[in-house]
Amino acid sequence: MNHYFITSDKDSKKELSSVLNETSKAIQEVFSDDKAYSGPTPYELRKLICQKSILPQKGLGWDAVFKSLKEKVLPNLLKTSSTDYMPHLHSPALIETIASELIISTFNQSMDSWDQSPAATEIEVDVINHLCRLYGYDKKSDGVFTSGGSQSNQTAIILARDWFCNKVLCWDVQKSGLPENFSKLRMYTSEISHFSMEKSAHILGLGYNSVVKVPVTPQKKMDITTLEKLIEQDKKAGNIPFLVVGTVGTTDFGSIDNIKEIARIAKENNMWFHADAAYGSGLILSQKYASRIDGINLCDSITVDFHKMFLMPISCSAVLIKEARDFDSLTIHADYLNREEDEEDGYINLVDKSLQTTRRFDALKVWVSFQVRGKDGWNNIINTCVENAAYLYEKIAQNPDFEVITKPEISSVVFRYKGKKDSDEINKTVRRKLLHEHGIVVGQTVSDGNVCLKFTLLNPLMTHQKLDELLELILKLSEKR
């Protein structure tokens, strides 16, 4: 390559255009069929991809590297936009958000201080304000974009801990560290909630023992009666309940905890209530199904992931909080970055409310796609995914060869082939055969000790006919086993 960057120089623009056009053409050529995966096993793929050195003494140049990229890498990447891809909460990317990613990468804004991201900062602030209204918060609320649901949850847990210690224990964690009785702090969450709860507790010095896992009902929702009992038991034992996390769309089942009841319990016990709505937050854009997350405005904080139901490229998440002042516990000033005199003159430095310093301009993807699709477009996308899951559930429930675990509330369906013997091994084998022989990627999980298959239906291009064909293929592979 003759240029480092795109500049005002005409030749640099020409070179960038050539590289982008060549790359775009190569990407499009990969989409010659509808398979989600090309099929190689881990060992086959490892042998194909591995290089003697990725840092040669003399650079190979763009053409040589691109040839390797085109021949070995692109054909073996997962095509998440294929209707044959449905294993995880891992969505296809809308075309306008791919264009947004090009803008984000080209201009490389850093979202920590205003002078590193002037227009980008103003857009993120505007997007956050609109999101707060969308989820029912008033003008006292605020939020920030994060790297994903785990970081959004961790941010909320930090704010919950500091709020509780300040308001209830009269202890300033920001200045003095954890209080002496920190080992007695307790947070409550569903036994099938996201693992970021335990990971956050560890990182914050509270440890796994501070996380009380509440059993779930047969519908995979947090058992409210048991939650109340566990809180009361901990109080009697001298422990200190400070936080309850409701899951609005569990990772495997898409089940939604009883938001209003958890909000009542949290309020009665002077606890922070966080909603991990990384998955289920997308329902807010459905006129028909938004009622399934009624009461989400009662939460003190909400995790919203845009790289799940909102169909945006990784990464794109946000944490919203009801009271903006609770972000104060993350604020610290540096003379080189977020000077107080600048902030007094209207320069917004978003590092004041983020765990990250350098951070991507991910808000642009939301800003663009919300306007491109509008309320009607998003309503259709969300409704299609929810109704595909409802259709699949009914089809499986009517088939005696399958067992479906629970009725979906969002767009995930967990089920299993229930052969007379070795059904766990059959389900495992079927998933591998789908992956390597048919290019179809489905999920695998465990429910009540049994190995299950999982369809996570985030693609609005999925049809009922395609779902019927997939079930027929799974049954055929199961019976051959």
Average pLDDT, stretch 109-135?
A: 96
What integer pLDDT is reported at residue 51 of this predicted model? 86
CA distance 258 to 275: 11
What integer pLDDT is reported at residue 337 of this predicted model? 61
Q: What is the DSSP string of 414-463?
A: EEEE--SS-HHHHHHHHHHHHHHHS--EEEEEEETTEEEEEEE---TT--
- Token pair for residue 295? 């009461």
Q: What is the pLDDT of residues 352-379, one digit of tens each?
A: 899 998 999 999 999 999 999 999 999 9
Question: Which residue matches tokens 């939301």?
Answer: 366
Is pLDDT of 336 > 60? Answer: no
Residue 301 pairs in a beta bridge with 274, 321
What integer pLDDT is reported at residue 52 of this predicted model? 87
CA distance 436 to 439: 6
pLDDT band of 480, cuts 50, 70, 90: confident
Average pLDDT, stretch 99-111?
A: 97
- Coil, strand or helix: which one is 184? helix
Q: Report which of 204, 170, 173 is spatially closest to residue 187, judged by C-alpha positions.
A: 204
Q: What is the pLDDT of residues 272-292, one digit of tens each?
A: 999 999 999 999 999 999 999
Tell me the Cα Rg of the chain.
24
CA distance 427 to 419: 9
Averaged pLDDT of the chain = 95
pLDDT band of 346, cuts 50, 70, 90: confident
Give the whole-number percent of the chain exceeding pLDDT 70: 98
Tell the burial category of 299 from Cβ atoms under 10 Å away from its Cβ (0-12, 13-18, 19+).
buried
pLDDT band of 341, cuts 50, 70, 90: low
Is pLDDT of 143 > 80? Answer: yes
Average pLDDT, stretch 11-25?
A: 96
Tell the burial category of 323 from Cβ atoms under 10 Å away from its Cβ (0-12, 13-18, 19+).
middle
pLDDT band of 248, cuts 50, 70, 90: very high
Q: What angle do CA 415, 420, 424 make, to 5 degrees?
A: 45
Element counts in the chain: helices (H) and strands (E): 14, 12
pLDDT band of 335, cuts 50, 70, 90: low
Average pLDDT, stretch 41-67?
A: 94
Q: What is the pLDDT of residues 154-209, one digit of tens each?
A: 999 999 999 999 999 999 999 999 999 999 999 999 999 999 999 999 999 999 99
